[in-house]
Amino acid sequence: MVEQVAVNHFVGGSSPSSGAFLIAHLQTFKLYISLIIVIMASCSTNSTPPDVKKIPKEIKTHDHVRTDNYYWMRLTDEQKSAKKYDSQTQDVINYIDDETEYLNKSLKHTKPLQKALYDEMVGRIKKDDQSVPYLENGYYYYVRYEDKKEYPIYCRKYKNLNNDEQIILDVNVLAEGYDYFAIGGMSISPDNKLLAYGVDTLSRRFYKVHFKNLISGENLEHTISNTTGGVAWANDNETVFYTLKNKVTLLGEKIYKHKLSTHSDQDQLVYHEKDETYYNGVYRSKSGQYIIIYNSSTLVSDYHILDANEPDGKFINFSPRGEKHEYDIQHYEDYFYIISNKNSPNNRLMRTKVNQTELSNWEEVIPHRDEVHLLGLEIFKNYLVLSERKDGLRAIRIKNMSSGDDSYIDFEEKTYSAYISTNEEYNTNILRYGYSSMLTPSSVYDYNMETKEKTLLKQTEVIGKGYDKDLYDAETVYATSRDGEKIPIYLVFRKDMRINEPQPLLLYSYGSYGSTSDPYFSSTRLSLLDRGFIYALTNVRGSQIFGRKSYEDGKLLKKKNTFYDFIDAGKYLVNERYTSSDQLFCSGGSAGGLLISAVINMKPDLWKGAISAVPFVDVVTTMLDPSIPLTSNEWDEWGDPREKEYYDYMLSYSPYDQIEDKTYPNILVTSGFFDSQVQYWEPLKYVAKLRDHWQGDNKLYIHMNMDAGHGGKSGRFRIYKEVALEYAFLLDLAGKKS
């Protein structure tokens, strides 16, 4: 077609009849063709951003009216799953397809880089790997992976690791034919003969529970649908308790009892939580003596307990539900040990006898401390093991209940991440814990609590080109917020690429729900470091980096402190010449995606680019609608906008509502069509509205994963396709082409 157009141009209106004319102009003709091909190629990779229709919807709250042009993008689960789409669904799908085409065409030139990144990331993963076995009820349990297989194989060996392996579940076999496949809530009966496990094939976190006879290898015929995945076994090996989810709110709200000899439609309701601000579930105590129902809101904990030897008995309330009282319980012999924040913002350790569980009977074991946040507890026959946070870092504290000896494990590095791992046995002096740092790959240790000797059992191996720890360095710096608070920033980089001039830097944070991100190792991150990036991790208010106060100062009517801290951390890194505003990038996911989308509204010129992953961005509209999954549980975190004070405050930072005509940084938004935590329409609407107000030449993209939910694709390798896309987006903006 191109050649014919060119020939017509040169000869169609010409009078010379000899071939000499064409020969004389052959060189010009070839140049012309080349020019047209270049122009067409250019047009194919620089497509115009997609547009989408507007259907204005007025939302009136507290005499204030907002107009949402893209509210129509909200679909029900039934619409998304229908075999034949209705017109509304088709319009949404068409828009997603247009955005996907625009993304692919615009970033087509990065495809070789994406492939190189993916190959690097996957190339560092040991393909035939295995976890460290742990002992439980006479069996050693472990997980192994085989080369070229996406999913784990769950195994066990009886009493001795030299005995024959029994495969209890090969997820690769189960996942055949599914685009998405996840196992949840595996649990084995007390007599070791039966396995219960949940299966999710849509990524909405609705699990169907299956039962497998581990002696015969056969699955039982009946299943239980719409659960949270896990079950709690009673000691009769016949009765299980499980949590049924509400199909609209996605909350686990009802606890049922199921007998393996009966069909699930005969299951008995044993508990129904009618307060939609609570998460609910059921589990078996580590001691095996109790079935425990938990009810947990942002501010309140509640428990109901049942003797596991009497599955047909009645659950009793552990202690009457109070106000603003969060606590955890663990059973040990004649006592329940309790981590409680009652009059103790950073928690204290208490205990009470098993037949006197009301709050008035609790006695203090370890008092509240202003400078130490008590996080968790593991109980052994002769030891109490406490997980604590002091000066922003986790510590593991060990108390000998016989001798009274009290000590901490020495982790040697200045900054690190350490946590209590799987410890299923009571009568042992060995503690299993996990460890990592910005420089040290994930490691598993056994610690002898008597001799205080530690043994490295496994450190994650970085294969391929390998990992030379000496090539990298890490440091911790502290920014100061605009109101004087300390903001820790953990940095890691290649020594030989660290220059005295600003260089590309990616700053990450989360900043909500009290979740704190400890400095940890990532082999994936090496693909950035090896190309000259600095990686920075910060904990802003909304986390619990310096105890409960850090959390309280970053929620509800103080939520903007989260955003201000992140901006101030970015400014610090620019002012200290680690980076510059034309080389500074930011990223976060879910509530961290809200953080990223808020800060680029507030300070767009600070950032070169941003990745907002599965972002919670339409804060006010979502929090006004309890029918949207999980909304009612969030009011204590963000506020209830049905109250005007909260409405006005949330509106002042809600990323979707605060979009304006301005020059935003380059942005990549990611989402999952079946996301159960942040519904897909929030990021989709967000991008559509941003396009209406976009100024300047920076780029805006959205990647919608049509086969996944909040956590991305299932499988251990496929997820890196998306990570490679994100890294290629950053590296391309930083001028790194390979």
The gap from C-alpha 359 to its chain's centroid, in whole angstroms, comes to 35
Bridge-based pairing of strands 393-400 and 383-390 is antiparallel
Look at phi and psi of residue 532 and say left if phi exceeds 0, alpha if psi is from -120 to 50, else beta. Answer: left
Choice among 675, 676, 703, 732 that is catalytic: 675
CA distance 236 to 189: 9
Choice among 590, 597, 671, 676 that is catalytic: 590
Give the E-state strand segments of 500-617 in sequence order: 505-508, 534-538, 584-589, 609-613
Kindly give the interhelix angle for 681-693 and 87-106, rounded to the nearest 10 degrees: 60
Is 301 marked active-site? no
| Backbone Cα Rg of the chain | 29
Two structure tokens written together for 680: 């897909």
Is 373 marked active-site? no
Three-state DSSP state, 295: strand
Kindly give the interhelix angle for 26-45 and 2-11, rounded to the nearest 10 degrees: 140
Two structure tokens written together for 315: 């659950």
The counts of H helices and E strands in the chain are 16, 37
Nearest to 694 by CA among 670, 654, 668, 660: 660
- What would the DSSP string read from start to end of 402-428? TT--EEE----SSS-EEEE-----SS-
Choice among 512, 710, 714, 732 that is catalytic: 710
Kindly give the interhelix angle for 719-733 and 111-123, rounded to the nearest 10 degrees: 130
* C-beta neighbour count of 261 within 10 angstroms: 9
Enumerate the β-bridge partners of residue 694: 662
CA distance 218 to 241: 22
Nearest to 440 by CA among 534, 522, 521, 526: 521
Two structure tokens written together for 237: 């090996």
CA distance 630 to 622: 10
Cβ-based neighbours of 306, under 8 Å, separated by 6 or more: 290, 291, 292, 293, 313, 314, 315, 316
Q: What are phi and psi of 623, to 5 degrees?
A: -75, -10
The DSSP call for residue 73 is: G
Two structure tokens written together for 288: 């095996």
- Counting beta carbons within 10 angstroms of the beta carbon of residue 495, is it exposed (0 to 12), middle (13 to 18) or buried (19 or more)? exposed
Is 590 marked active-site? yes
Give the E-state strand segments of 124-278 in sequence order: 134-136, 139-144, 153-158, 166-170, 182-188, 194-200, 207-213, 224-233, 239-245, 252-259, 268-272
CA distance 631 to 679: 11
Question: Does the CA dihedral 232-237-239-244 come out positive or negative?
Answer: positive
- What would the DSSP string read from start to end of 361-396? G-EEEE--BTTEEEEEEEE-SSEEEEEEEETTEEEE
Could you report how far apart the first and last alpha carbons of the chain are, in Å?
35
CA distance 550 to 198: 36
- Counting beta carbons within 10 angstroms of the beta carbon of residue 661, is it exposed (0 to 12), middle (13 to 18) or buried (19 or more)? exposed
Q: How far is CA 192 from CA 51, 139, 178, 284, 650, in A?
A: 58, 9, 30, 15, 51
Residues annotated as part of the active site: 590, 675, 710
